[in-house]
Structure 1
């Protein structure tokens, strides 16, 4: 169960990257794909940074 969020986030990034490739081919709107890719990468980096944070005594 511990690796489930990590795998879901990687799949979301791959999906957003695929949408971005379609947007560069002018099949999908670029206005939707760019924020989707940015948000997916931002959430993934926030998750990686916040995992092992020391919360105090």
Structure 2
């Protein structure tokens, strides 16, 4: 999932450099959403990992 966030971030940077504002904004929004979902899943897996060891 982090891979897809980075892909959308690269698309947003390229689209922004070429002047496609709408595409850049949408891609940046998707990248941000995927990144936060990834961080949430990482935190949940770390918490469950700590409880499993105890």
Shorter chain as denominator, the TM-score bin is 0.5 to 0.7
Residue 24, structure 1, aligned to residue 13, structure 2:
no
- Does the alignment pair 1:13 with 2:2? no
Q: Count how many residue pairs are aligned between Structure 1 and Structure 2.
A: 47
Tell me which of 39, 46, 49 is aligned to 2:40.
46
Quote the RMSD (CA, aligned, Å).
2.1
- What stretches of structure 2 of length at least 5 have no aligned partner? none
- Give 1 or 2 for the bigger CA radius of gyration: 2
TM-score normalised over the length of structure 1: 0.61
Q: Which structure has the higher relative contact order (CA within 8 Å, separation 6+)?
A: 2
**Aligned partners of 1:13 and 1:41 also within 8 Å:** yes
